[in-house]
């Protein structure tokens, strides 16, 4: 069961919509779906909201500490409400997945992600859930810093949004479990669209039937083949 959902990103208008803020995009949509608007909370160094659910409250959090200090915000809220690391899900951008792909996992390393690195350091463990939202890789390691802080093209943003929509479709499972079922739904790829059926040429009977239905066509054919009623003059006899 998840008691705290965290989305990672950087605060401020200059970072709004950048790839590194994919975690914010996810939490924004969760808050809208649950109808619990995020509000500044200085005690937890971020934007937070609480959703009261049948199995207990769920907290949503967007750290406003900048990415490298995300753990300061997460640990403050988790410790105050005695939320265990395995009751936390962190949504974040992932360079190793292409836009339009996402993965869910429990535990593991921070894989160079500074937000995960600080959360792991502040909690004292990496044993928390992660929702990895693919943003793609620039292809050159030295370009990563600039890449994650730029806004993606519309097509890539739409691909990430489609993943978030898919995750929202199984939100109850993400929160209440069982987590293995939630992972199966998250990792499921939509079936490709079926190709259109091949067009077969019409049969002769179908063509004849269609011709017969053309108004006036049958009558005009009869008229053209009927005798005119006027006898042709007899051929002249050759002169002897």
Strands 102-106 and 46-53: unpaired
Nearest to 46 by CA among 16, 82, 77, 25: 77
20 as an active site residue: the answer is yes
What span, in angstroms and rounded, lies between the C-alpha atoms of 148 and 138?
Answer: 9
Query: Which listed residue (20, 92, 101, 113) is catalytic?
Result: 20
**Phi, psi at residue 66, to the nearest 5°?**
75, 155
Q: Long-range pairs for 202-206 at CB < 8 Å and ≥24 separation?
A: none
Instruction: Tell me which DSSP letter residue 170 carries.
Output: T
As a residue count, the chain comes to 240
Residues labelled catalytic: 20
């Amino acid at each position: 069961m998840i008691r705290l959902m965290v989305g990672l990103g950087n605060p401020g208008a200059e970072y709004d919509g950048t790839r590194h803020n994919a975690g914010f995009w996810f939490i924004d949509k969760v808050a809208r779906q649950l109808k619990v608007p995020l509000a500044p909370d200085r005690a937890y160094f971020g934007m937070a909201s609480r959703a009261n659910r049948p199995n207990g409250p769920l907290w949503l959090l967007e750290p406003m500490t900048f990415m490298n200090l995300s753990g300061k915000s997460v640990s403050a809220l988790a410790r105050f409400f005695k939320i265990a690391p395995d009751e936390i899900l962190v949504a974040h951008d992932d360079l190793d997945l292409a836009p339009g792909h996402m993965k869910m996992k429990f535990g593991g390393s921070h894989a160079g992600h500074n937000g995960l690195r600080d959360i792991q350091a502040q909690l004292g463990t990496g044993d928390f859930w992660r929702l990895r939202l693919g943003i793609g890789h620039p292809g050159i390691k030295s370009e990563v810093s600039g890449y994650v802080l730029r806004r993606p093209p519309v097509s890539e943003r739409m691909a990430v949004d489609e993943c978030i929509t898919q995750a929202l479709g199984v939100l109850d499972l993400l929160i209440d479990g069982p987590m293995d079922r939630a992972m199966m739904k998250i990792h499921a790829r939509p079936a490709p669209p079926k190709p259109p059926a091949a067009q077969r040429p019409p049969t002769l009977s179908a063509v004849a039937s269609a011709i017969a239905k053309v108004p006036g066509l049958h009558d005009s054919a009869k008229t053209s083949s009927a005798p005119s009623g006027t006898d042709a003059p007899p051929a002249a006899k050759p002169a002897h």
